[in-house]
Amino acid sequence: MSRTTIGARAERAAAAALAARGYRVLATNVRARGGEIDIVCRDGETFVFCEVKARRAGGAYPADETVTFAKRRRLERLAATHLAHIGRRDAAYRLELVAIDLDERDLPARLRVLPFG
């Protein structure tokens, strides 16, 4: 299975898990100068910007250990840019990581929603 297919499957699983938690999924794969936001949600009045990371079974590190400080900074910039673009520059927001460990068939075996950073 290609990385693109696995990534798309992981993002769908992440969006479904966030919706099940009561988040309202607003958009996926939001592109802006400097990168892409995997999922944009609302949790009540708070915007939530999510990075989705999936790792195959047997990988060297679990998904939640693969996010760098640079990735966090990039997501912060993208979140601020997105809020400015929609005219909500001062809105409350937070960053979250959806870490997905895949089984040997590349299906989500464990999914965790974690604070980013």
pLDDT at 57 exceeding the cut of 80: no
Domain 3-115 CATH assignment equals 3.40.1350.10: yes
44 φ/ψ angles, rounded to the nearest 5 degrees = 65, -125
Which amino acid type is present at position 80? A
| Cα 33 from Cα 112, distance rounded (Å) | 28
Question: What's the pTM?
Answer: 0.91
Per DSSP, the three-state class of 15 is helix
pLDDT at 59 exceeding the cut of 80: no
Cβ within 8 Å of residue 38, ≥6 positions away: 11, 14, 28, 29, 50, 51, 52, 98
Segment 74-82 shows an average pLDDT of 95
Lowest mean pLDDT among 64-68, 85-89, 97-101, 106-110: 64-68
Confidence of residue 117 (pLDDT cuts 50, 70, 90): low
